[in-house]
Amino acid sequence: MDKKIALAKVKPHLTNKRYVHTIGVLNTAVSLVEEKEIDIDIEAIRLAAIFHDYAKYRPAEELRNILQENGQDQFLHYGEEVLHAPAGAYLVRKELGITNEKILSAIFWHTTGKRNMNMYEKILYLSDYIEPNRSFPGVDEVREVAKESIDQAIVLALRNTITFLVNKRQLIFPETVHAYNDMLNQLK
Interface residues with ligand DGI (CB under 6 A) are 21, 53, 56, 78-79, 81-82, 85, 110-112, 128, 161, 165, 170-173, 176
Q: Which is nearer to ligand DGI, 52 or 102 (CB)?
A: 52
What residues contact 6, with CB distance under 8 A and at least 6 apart? Answer: 46, 47, 50, 51
We find the least distance from the C-beta atom of residue 37 to ligand DGI, in angstroms, to be: 26
CB of 162 to Fe ion, least distance (A): 12
DSSP 8-state class, residue 164: H
Burial of 186 (0-12, 13-18, 19+ CB in 10 A): exposed
- Residue 13 binds what, of Fe ion, ligand DGI, none (CB under 5 to 8 Å, by partner type)? none
SS (H, E, C) 75-125: HCCCCHHHCHHHHHHHHHHHHHCCCCHHHHHHHHCCCCCCCCCCHHHHHHH
Among residues 82 and 156, whose Cβ is nearest to ligand DGI? 82
Shortest gap between Cβ of 110 and Fe ion (angstroms)? 6
Q: CB nearer to Fe ion: give 128 or 175.
A: 128
User: Quick one: 57 or 186, whose CB is closer to Fe ion?
Assistant: 57
Q: Could you say which residues in the range 114-153 bind Fe ion, by CB under 5 A?
A: 128
- Interface with Fe ion, residue 175, by CB under 5 A: no
Helix axes 119-130, 139-148, angle to 10 degrees: 140
Instruction: List the single partner that 173 binds among Fe ion, ligand DGI, none, CB under 5 to 8 Å by kind.
Output: ligand DGI
Minimum separation from the CB atom of position 177 to Fe ion (A): 15
**Residues 6+ away with beta carbon under 8 Å from 88:** 51, 52, 53, 54, 55, 56, 107, 108
Site residues (vs Fe ion, CB under 5 A):
53, 128
